[in-house]
Amino acid sequence: MTLTIAALAPLLAVFALLVLCRWPATRAMPFAYVVVVAVGIAAWKMDPIVVMAASLKGGMIALTLLWIILPALALLYTLRETGGMAVIRTGFHDISPDARVQALIVAWLFGSFMEGAAGFGTPAAIAGPLLVALGFPPLAACASALIIQSTAVTFGAVGTPIIIGMGEALNVPSVLEIVDASPVTYDAFIAGIGARAATVHAICGLLVPFMLLAVLGRMFGRDRSARTALSIWPFALFSAVAFVVPYLAVAWLLGPEFPSLLGSLVALAIVVPAARRGFLLHGEPVWTFAPTEDWDPTWTSEGTTTSRETNESRSSSGALRDLVDSEIGLLRAWSPYIVAASILVITRLYVLPLRGWLQSVELTWESILATELSQGVQPLYLPGTVLALAALITPWLHRKPMAATARAWRDATSTLAKPAMALLFAVALVRVFIDSGLNKSGLESMPIYLANQLASTVGDAWPFFAPVVGAMGAFVAGSNTVSDLMFGVFQFSVAAAAGLPVVMVLALQAVGGAAGNMITVHNVVAASATVGLVGKEGALIRITLIPMIVYLLIAGLLGMLFTQGLIPEPF
């Protein structure tokens, strides 16, 4: 019991300080980092050199995350400088002036597309700022971008959590021996995990648009009513079905690479024209946020500039500039994002050599501080590099002076200054927590130890709790892929020992790992940074915690039903 409490201490510290005490991440994460270091050295008997090496590894990972956020911000600010963002904003208003419809299109569908194309926090870095540009309060924009970080995540970055996360985690003798004795190949085994994960996700995903609208209405609506926001429930259901049906079909027919990517593209092609024609929206009053001056102060940070404030404070010269900017045209305004998304998709396809070429350029720190820990980074393959390229060529695409680029990057760097420190401590904490298995006590790492304690307690009810373990892995690691790598063999072993269908249990792990992205600390910090929302991380977690719990409860219940034989399993 003492060790269990000790292993929980870092997680409880993060939750208590961010959510209960409402500390900003810039204060909470350094304190929680001290807690995990103390637990690692005192209870897990980690060598201080290993703690330092794990922290440095976390620092390298944090820098790669910052290289996604910074270019995303620079692209946004460049679009603001060239006038492209005003055109994009007008384009969305032309589709529908209703903020609920805009949230479903930008966050749920476009965010899922960016997840399928790039993953690794890219949806929040792009969808969040777009929503702010449409007039969303920054807190509402961040919450929307995080809530949709669920259904699409298991197949993010062209299937990386399944192909790499599960594929690498389970590529061990104990698993291969069982797979080799079965009638399926290893690749089919991994694809089967993805297909079953998509089945659970598709059912849970039907609720995501409803949870998104409920949060917007209850937390940010003029009347603070979820019911009012949900009055367009037929359209919300339509947008959900338009995504999950092709998503599920692709997962079963084509494999784990394209469910999120193709599902969201099909949905966008269906939902956008439907919204433009008012399909299922006739007779609905337009739902918008209150004027900026009536917003709750907690929805923004000091110094945050919203699109409405910008609109209201424009001078006559600014209005003239917007008139000129409107000549850019909608397609040209979107061209930087089109270029970025196209490059991301092309460079993530396994069938093309570009992926291998870009990944071959790797900077690696082997044996950090003479320990077993190493960390590499593939700079050309990072989504941030593509976003940086898009930001740099935006003035040329929009036929504007290149001076806009320097101003945009300067503003982006300034915006990122405070969140960067919180992110560095958050990822360092995560790596010490995960790498605590390198110790002199003989104990498993803290997350594996906690998972073992949970498994021994719940017994046959494990399918209900399997997604919880996946979510815990994502919460501490900030990644569905890392959660699968961390817990893949563990989930396989628990399922095999209990006589449960291992493919479904592994699928539940993948589902939970995706849902955990809604509240993972460095996703929250990163999403906040993209809209200049500093110090509100705890408020964001309080908002997204309930949708994540609902998602996990439904996934767990489905897991219990499926493991009772409703879906035949190969094992």
27: its two tokens: 């204060």
* pLDDT tens readout for residues 460-474: 899 999 999 999 888
CA-to-CA separations, 443 to 383, 392, 448, 450, 487, in angstroms, rounded: 36, 49, 9, 11, 16
- 308 band by pLDDT with thresholds 50, 70 and 90: very low
Predicted local distance difference test score (pLDDT) of residue 553: 97
Of 224, 85, 213, the closest CA to residue 143 belongs to: 213
* pLDDT tens readout for residues 389-423: 999 999 999 988 888 888 889 988 887 777 788 88
CB 395 within 8 A of CB 409: no
Crossing angle for the helix pair 48-82 and 383-398, to the nearest 10 degrees: 20
CA distance 72 to 476: 24
CB 495 within 8 A of CB 176: no
Place of tokens 């970080």: 149
* pLDDT tens readout for residues 35-67: 999 999 999 999 999 999 999 998 898 888 788
CB 127 within 8 A of CB 110: yes
Query: In this model, does residue 324 exceed pLDDT 80?
Result: no
* Mean pLDDT value across residues 109-127: 81
Predicted local distance difference test score (pLDDT) of residue 325: 47
DSSP β-bridge partners for residue 392: none
More confident residue, 310 or 128: 128
Please give the distance of CA 524 from its chain centroid, rounded to a whole number.
Answer: 9
Predicted local distance difference test score (pLDDT) of residue 504: 94
Residue 363 phi, psi dihedral angles, 5° rounding: -105, 120
Residues 6+ apart with CB under 8 A from 5: none
The per-residue pLDDT of the chain, averaged, comes to: 87
* pLDDT tens readout for residues 330-369: 888 888 888 887 887 788 777 788 888 988 998 999 999 9
Of 339, 326, 474, the closest CA to residue 394 belongs to: 339
CA-to-CA separations, 447 to 8, 197, 296, 555, in angstroms, rounded: 9, 22, 38, 21
pTM of the predicted model, to two decimals?
0.82
Q: Helix count (H) and strand count (E) of the chain?
A: 28, 2
Predicted local distance difference test score (pLDDT) of residue 302: 57
Q: Is the dihedral of CA 33, 34, 39, 45 positive or negative?
A: positive
63: its two tokens: 């820098």
Helix (H, G, I), strand (E, B) or coil at 119: coil
Q: What stretch of H or E contains 375?
A: strand 375-377
Predicted local distance difference test score (pLDDT) of residue 89: 77
Please give the distance of CA 375 from its chain centroid, rounded to a whole number.
Answer: 22
CA distance 438 to 434: 9
**Size of the chain, expressed as the number of residues it contains:** 571
Predicted local distance difference test score (pLDDT) of residue 312: 40
Query: In this model, does residue 309 exceed pLDDT 50?
Result: no
Predicted local distance difference test score (pLDDT) of residue 304: 53
* pLDDT tens readout for residues 188-222: 999 999 999 999 999 999 999 999 999 999 999 99
